[in-house]
Chain A
């Protein structure tokens, strides 16, 4: 299993530009999560999907952020327009609801720098 795949691994962009982060979850997993990690705020859940449907987007900072999951094997997180305070590492994770706990498997992250 290839695990959760994220692209790009690094992104440097200028303020005001649109940024799109991509995620491919583990095959067979029905839940997908987007997180943001910074030194100041730690790990924050931005949004998560069950069966491609957004369930909770209360962590999305503002309207500049949007996420989609058009099918079970692909999701995007878009920031438009980007700002320097969006600089962070963005993680995607997936899980399969089971009889026990719902452990999540994380991708390697995308390090975003907005100048």
Chain B
């Protein structure tokens, strides 16, 4: 069975400081992992994805995530937060075989203060 846990429901940072959104996954085989972002009153947008290639994945808007198998983690980072990064972020796991359902984490709401 697969699952994903986002360790923080809310994260608050100041503009210009680093962002860290934590995600742990559970999978019986090598998964694919994604981060999605949802701005207020918008749909979900794919930020980045890991599919068993490079363990450090770069996404849009300066975000990146590192796949660490030994820690079963896929944390999302950004060196310097911008006001426009305020949104909800979802860590997602997908099987690489079988049905293509996505398993969503509960989400982390990121607040960015001036």
A103-B92 Cα distance, complex, nearest whole Å: 9
In the bound complex, CA of A108 to CA of B38 (Å):
10
CB proximity to A under 8 Å, residues B59-96: 90, 94-96
- Using C-beta atoms within 8 Å of the partner chain, give the interface range for chain B: 20 to 34
Q: Which residues of A contact B43 (CB under 8 A)?
A: 4, 91, 106-109
Interface residues of B in 80-114 (CB under 8 A from A): 90, 94-96, 99-102, 104, 106-107
Cα-based distance from A70 to B67 in the complex (angstroms): 39
A48 and B102 CA atoms in complex are apart in Å by 11
Chain A's interface size range is: 20 to 34
CB distance from A18 to the nearest CB of B (A): 25
A12 CB–B CB distance under 8 Å: no
Interchain CB contact under 8 A, B104 and A43: yes
Interface residues in A82-115 by Cβ distance below 8 A to B read 91, 93, 95, 97, 100-109
| Cβ B32 vs Cβ A55 within 8 A | no
Measured in the bound complex, the distance between the Cα atoms of B95 and A104 in whole Å is 13
Whether A103 contacts B46 by the Cβ 8 Å rule is yes
- 17 residue pairs of the A-B complex, CB under 8 angstroms, read A4-B43, A42-B104, A42-B106, A42-B107, A45-B101, A45-B102, A48-B101, A56-B99, A100-B49, A101-B31, A101-B33, A101-B49, A101-B94, A101-B96, A103-B46, A108-B43, A109-B43
Residues of B within 8 A of A (CB): 31-34, 36, 42-46, 49-52, 90, 94-96, 99-102, 104, 106-107
Q: Which residues of chain A have a CB within 8 Å of any CB of chain B?
A: 4, 31, 42-43, 45, 48, 50, 55-56, 91, 93, 95, 97, 100-109
- Top-7 shortest CB links A-B: A101-B32, A100-B51, A102-B100, A106-B43, A106-B44, A101-B94, A108-B43
